[in-house]
Structure 1
Amino acid sequence: MRIRDLFNEKKLVFSFEVFPPKNTSPIKSIYNALNELSELNPDFISVTYGAGGTSVNNKTTEISSLIKNVYKIEALAHLTSIGAKKENINFIKERLALEGVENILALRGDKKEECNSGDFLYASNLMNHLREDFNIIGACYPEGHIENKSIDLEIDNMKRKEENGCSSFISQLFFSNETYYEFLEKARNSGVKAPIQAGIMPVINKKQIQRIGNLCGAYIPLKFKKIMNRYEHNPEALREAGIAYAVEQIIDLSSSSVDGIHLYTMNNPYVARKIKENIKTVLKAVNE
């Protein structure tokens, strides 16, 4: 099934994201997480582009096949353009097609020294190459990309991605719903038409905040800072407070008729289960 069709069937699409184990870990190390996550019945599960870059041995394809063919859940395979050669991309395309995976999240990827050495300079170039064979999804950045925080530039990039075959978007994580609503309004008023899923990451330890700041520079509301500071020395309390904050975000977003929620699970089934249990009645009511 192509994920774009889910947005015609449901008022709110709810999905998870997982990442492949490190190259030093066996592929089976993700089985336990997928066993539990699959029981929560997400609409789809996305798999990030793991260690190995554009290597044809990348674990993303294998895990995507597992999700699709063993767990019977739609899979979304991430694929990055930076440094990618057409022959490697075509090999991965063939493998995904053989496994029945129909959906790709096409990304530029993090900048590297060799970023201009590949055949696809931007995510939109990769999308155009993949669009005839796959349903293409793109990333968007409600607070602007960390390399350029201009919202106008971000929206121009979204429109360019739509022109190159992008059927829906998944947003970078954020902690301020008000900031997200402002972004959505501006995107729609500027002509972006594709469905946009809100990316939510439950923060369960303070180290995550530091990594998030380096990763995307997300705005941290005062309310959230107070939670982190109050419970930073009590890991269990901080975990539960982080889950509660994410639940509050999701309930508010669901009540505001967003297109979907994409939960960055960090391969943690406990967190995903707690959130799903707290919002299952809300999801049911929204999708009735």
Structure 2
Amino acid sequence: MSIADIFNTKKPVVSFEIFPPKKNGVLVNADETIKSLKKLNPDYISVTFGAGGNSVNAMTWEIARSIRENFKIEPIVHLTCLSHSKEDIDEILEKLKKYGLYNILALRGDENPNAAAKEDFRHANELISYIKSRGDFSVSAACYPEGHSESPNLVQDTIYLKKKVDAGANHLISQLFFDNNFFYSFLDRARNAGINVPIDAGIMPLTSKKQIERMVMLCGASLPAKFKKVLDKYEDKPDALLDAGIAYALDQVIDLITQGVDGIHLYTMNNPIIAERIYNGFSSLIDL
């Protein structure tokens, strides 16, 4: 089933993101994590596309296939394009077809200062258009409630997002945010621009000071004054900060569901216990 089709039968859609796990630097099986997440009845699970070479990428496909075949959950596979040629993408798409994986989250990917980017794809909309020309794939794309860090302003950011949808993206997943007002303002901009595809709100619970600092550095998300007070009060108390981070994320989700968002996408960081605590706090608000 196409991810976009799920939104025709349920609202809000609930989904999780996981990544190929490692233990002592070695890629390991993700089935235990998926088994725990399955208990929460997700509508789909996304699997990130590794930056660590072919072994990580192959693990992404294997995890996605296991999600579909062993756990009967719809998977979506991340696919980046800066480091891939058209020939690379063709090879990947053939493997995805072989595995029965037809849902793709098409991303540009980050610039790698240690490796030259390929010239075939410079932007995600180019990858989306190419994938759509190569088979019956359902393509999702990313969106940024506070604007992409490289966008000069929110108007240009919205224009570029419209290009992704016009290229064939039929579903959007938002970058994480910690102030719901950013998401609501983004929704208004998107809908006014004629972007009418389903949009998932991406939520990540902040569970440690190190994680918070890393996320702010990577994605530029703003930390509201309310959360900064929580961080200042509990930064030296890991257990308390974990509880506060989960409570903050749950408050976000409850507000989003109350306002009628299309879907909730939890960035689990491969921690199903945290995902379960958040899910149990809002599960009574959704139609199972």
TM bucket normalised to smaller: over 0.9
Q: Which residue of 2 aligns with 1:121?
A: 122
Deviation at 1:229, TM superposition (A): 1.3
Does 2:278 align with 1:275? Answer: yes
2:237 corresponding residue in structure 1:
234
> Mean alpha-carbon deviation: is it higher for 110-119 or for 157-166?
110-119
Q: Matches of 1:16 and 1:57 in 2, distance apart? A: 19
The yes-or-no answer on 1:85 pairing with 2:85 is yes
Return the match for 1:257 from 239, 255, 260: 260
Q: Is the 8 A contact 1:56 1:91 kept in 2?
A: no
Asked if structure 2 preserves the Cα contact closer than 8 Å seen for 1:45 and 1:73, the reply is yes
Q: Could you state the TM-score of these two structures normalised by the residue count of structure 2?
A: 0.94
The amino acid across from 1:191 in the alignment is: G
Aligned to 2:15: 15
Deviation of 1:56 (Å):
8.8
TM-score, structure 1 normalization: 0.94
Which amino acid in structure 2 is aligned with residue 280 of structure 1? S
**Match of residue 25 from structure 1:** 26
Q: CA separation of 1:176/1:87 partners in 2, compared to 1, >3 Å: closer, same or farther?
A: same
Measured in 1, the distance between the counterparts of 2:50 and 2:118 equals 20
1:100 maps to what in 2? 100
Of the structure 1 ranges 130-139 and 109-118, higher mean CA displacement relative to structure 2 is found in: 109-118
Contact map agreement 2:11 2:286 (CA 8 A) in 1:
no
- Helix, strand or coil: the match of 2:170? strand
Q: How much has 1:236 moved relative to structure 2?
A: 1.1
Aligned to 2:111: 111
Q: Pairwise mapping of residues 199-238 of structure 1 onto structure 2 (< 5 A)?
A: 199-238=202-241
Shift of 1:133: 2.4
Q: CA deviation at 1:152?
A: 1.1
Return 8-17 or 45-54, whichever deviates more: 45-54
CA distance in 1 between partners of 2:27 and 2:161 (Å): 36
Q: How far did 1:92 drift? A: 1.4
Q: Distance in 1 between matches of 2:262 and 2:116?
A: 33
* Structure 2 counterpart of 1:198, one-letter code: A
SS in structure 2 of the partner of residue 194 of structure 1: coil
Could you say what secondary structure the match of 1:225 adopts? helix
**1:162 aligned residue:** 165
Instruction: Give 3-state SS (helix, strand or coil) of 1:197's partner.
Output: strand
Question: Taking every aligned residue pair, what percent have the same amino acid on both sides?
Answer: 48
CA distance in 1, matches of 2:140, 2:27: 28
Runs of 4+ in 1 over 6 A off after TM superposition: none
Whether the aligned pair in 2 keeps the contact of 1:115 and 1:121 (CA below 8 Å) is no
Structure 1 runs not aligned, ≥5 long = none
- Deviation (angstroms), 1:283: 1.5
Specify the alignment match of 2:131 in structure 1: 130
Q: Is the 8 A contact 2:209 2:231 kept in 1?
A: yes
Secondary structure of the residue aligned to 2:175 is strand
Unaligned runs of 5+ in 2: none
Contact 1:104 1:134 in 2 (8 A): yes
Q: Which residue of 1 aligns with 2:41?
A: 41
Does the 8 Å CA contact 2:33/2:270 hold for their aligned counterparts? yes
The structure-2 alpha-carbon separation of the partners of 1:141 and 1:180, relative to structure 1 and needing over 3 Å to count, comes to same
State the one-letter code of the partner of 1:33: T
- After superposition, what is the alpha-carbon deviation per residue over 1:163-190, rounded to whole angstroms, capped at 9, x for unaligned? 1110010000000001111111111112
SS of equivalent residue, structure 2 residue 252 = helix
C-alpha RMSD of the superposition: 1.7
> For residue 124 of structure 2, what is the amino acid of its counterpart?
A
Q: Report deviation, 1:117.
A: 2.1
Superposed CA offset, 1:24-45 (max 9, x none)? 32332x2221121111110000
Question: Is the Cα–Cα contact under 8 Å of residues 22 and 51 in structure 1 kept in the other structure?
Answer: no
SS of the aligned residue for 2:7 comes to helix
